[in-house]
Amino acid sequence: MHHLAETVLKSLKSAGTRSLPAYERIITLATSVAPPPFAEDWFAHRYFELARNAEWFANSLVANAALEGYGSTQIWKFSNRIPNGAYASKVRKHSLDESRHSTMFVEMLATIFPWVVSDEDTKRQLEEIQPRFGQNNHPPIQLRPREELLDGEVLFNELIQVHITEIRALVLQHLLRPVVLEYCPPQSKERLSKYMASFIRDEALHIRYTAEIFEKAAGEGYFDFLVSTFEARLRDFNELTLRELERDNVSVCMRCNVTPSMATALTDAGQCQENSCPIKLMSNNRGTMEHGLDLVLYPRTKADFFRDIWEKKAIHVSRRSASYFAVLRDAISIEQTVWQCGSQWGDVSLARAKTNYASAPYGSQPASLEAVTEAFAEGYTNVLNSLQNKNVVLAKFCRDLEKDLISDVGINLYRTPCNSAGLDHHYDDQDVFILQLSGRKTWKIYEHASKLPLVTSEYSQVDITGVKYIEFDVREGDTLYIPRGLIHEAVSHDEGSTHLTVSVNTVRWVDLLHRHFQALAEDSIELRRGVPLHKLSVNEIVEEGLGILASGVSGESRLSETTLRIVDSLLASKRRLPNYDLHLAQNFDDLAESTEYSVAKDQVFRLYESSTGMILKYIGASVNVSPELEPVIRFICQRQGFTLADLPDVITLAEKRVLALKLVKTGFLVPNIVG
């Protein structure tokens, strides 16, 4: 007997079903000649592999909700075509169950991924896919005209298809249960466990009522028809399953609670697209978010992050998606980077916790690929430093982060062998984001902290014996943010680990005020005077010193200028990145009036007021903006893609052309030339 037949019969027995000998023969024969792929181990492995991707899993929950809702409406219509009142009553009960399941799937989605159902438009769409049928709220019970009624072999053919979809649904629920409980927050596990138990119980009851109908029909002379039809319909479902698998559409082939003809009609109606999901929650929310801090934080927003988390606490963003950082991961060849850039230790380094580096055997060797590979085999973590200066993709990624953070951003890669720790517990003097590219690490973040240390602060090793900590299980596609000063350590697991550490050199208040008073001293002889020696040992220096400080801080315009100098320093330290059509400079004068322009993607710029007027500062140049040009410059800074005709008509077309050419030649604008 095929193991699926055994599972179904065991489920029927658990549901208190009486002996059904004819049905047992039917399902045993059908599954032996047409074994379903959805009952095989490889299918379960494929499901679990896909379910590791949080985006895929979230969308599969929506697909389930949509298909349950659609199935509910179709099954109710089906019941109105059944003249046998007892059969029709059971089918209507089935419809109500499917409607309830649709709502339960939406509730599971909201529990596990609350952030993806937070906007009103998504809530509205999710509401639309739930029929919300109930005992006192359902479509009319109205028997269709005689010519539309189903009876005998035609009815049994339809019920067999419904029956097989319920068997597939039972398989899915058993696969779904551990995934749901793995994703859901601890406080919700009991509730969602009850949901899953309800799903499994309902699927067993749906299988039971149709099996009992088949048992009765077999006794009425339909046994041979039921055997041949069950086998034929099972082959149809197997073919449908394999077609969906070719499209990685596992959620559909596992959960279509309608017949193949119904599924075809649904597809033809445009409601059953990729993943059979009319609402692409997570992928749509990421549609305009491809770069910078949005990518690092998603699904959290930058506003929430800076308000509630930045410099305050560590936060783990769990996605468990091997593809989430694929663009960054696939752009890095560790071996090639070591070969090209590892001419000396520093570009490449090694790390192993509890290791005395003075006696490490690799310090006296060249920083070769062979040495790095050998060290990795002996438990050393390979570290590739400052990849923003060695890899174009990572350079662009860091540039996008710098636009959001207005700070210098660096990026290192850490490849750690299995079950190893690269560094002892420590804290950093920069804020860091951990981006897990592959494998897994467990991070401990200790309560004891050196709060927001300065870069110039002397590092002090802290004894963490008995100190409480929070543990984070960081997997592929996850982000971990650690504020500067928080003590942390990490260890890899059996699969090893590769992650990027993004460090942010934040501009601190002390940096701003230091630069401010330095600038003030250029114009203030009082600040340049020496402190009277006799006052260094008495309290009267306090009053006089505070007075000088107060006068310096109260200079609002000078403080604003200091802020701008810091921004200028950041811009001055940056260089243009490759692959941004800089080669077009030689042909700028030939551009047509219809040419479309946009701000270069690698540019970082600031538009601000100064004592002499408005200034546009960007990498490589600055432009003094006259009052009549101000609306034009603001328009350019706020738009992506415009022609000269789109610019405000406060200047002539000829003046627009001169301005555009100047901004193109200095690298601020890029002409979008086709062909």
Q: How far is CA 358 from CA 365, 416, 425, in A?
A: 13, 21, 19
Q: Which two tokens stand for residue 467?
A: 């100190």
Q: How far is CA 608 from CA 99, 164, 504, 666, in A?
A: 57, 68, 24, 19
pLDDT tens column, 242-264: 766 655 454 444 443 434 333 33
pLDDT tens column, 33-78: 999 988 888 788 778 878 888 888 888 999 999 999 999 999 999 9
pLDDT at 363: 65
pLDDT at 606: 83
Q: How far is CA 20 from CA 16, 28, 292, 460, 522, in A?
A: 12, 12, 62, 75, 98
Given the structure tokens 């750690």, which residue do they identify? 416
pLDDT at 647: 92
Q: Which residues contact 31 (CB under 8 A, 6 or more apart)?
A: 1, 2, 4, 5, 39, 234
Gap between the Cα atoms of 244 and 256, Å rounded: 11
pLDDT at 159: 97
Q: Which residues contact 114 (CB under 8 A, 6 or more apart)?
A: none
Which secondary-structure segment (H or E) carries 85?
A: helix 85-112
Given the structure tokens 């159902």, which residue do they identify? 117
Helix axes of 189-217 and 21-33: crossing angle, nearest 10 degrees: 100
| SS3 category, 81 | coil
| SS3 category, 198 | helix
Mark out the alpha helices in 247-317 (DSSP H runs). Answer: 250-255, 260-268, 281-285, 292-297, 302-308
pLDDT tens column, 151-198: 999 999 999 999 999 999 999 999 999 999 988 888 899 999 999 999
**Which amino acid belongs to residue 38?**
F
**pTM, full prediction:** 0.56
Q: Which two tokens stand for residue 493?
A: 């697991």
pLDDT at 357: 63
pLDDT at 410: 94
| SS3 category, 275 | helix
Q: Which two tokens stand for residue 632?
A: 């034009």
pLDDT at 258: 39
Cα–Cα–Cα angle for 378, 380, 381, nearest 5°?
A: 145
Residues of the chain with pLDDT under 70: 243-291, 342-343, 357-361, 363-364, 449, 533-560, 579-591, 611, 673-675
Gap between the Cα atoms of 210 and 73, Å rounded: 18
φ, ψ for residue 534, nearest 5 deg: -70, -15
Gap between the Cα atoms of 237 and 673, Å rounded: 51
- Say if strands 348-351 and 596-599 run parallel, antiparallel, or are unpaired: unpaired
Taking the CB of residue 344, how many other CB atoms lie within 10 A of it?
9
| SS3 category, 8 | helix
Q: Do 61 and 105 touch, CB atoms closer than 8 A? A: yes
pLDDT tens column, 419-466: 999 999 999 999 999 999 999 999 999 987 678 887 777 777 778 888
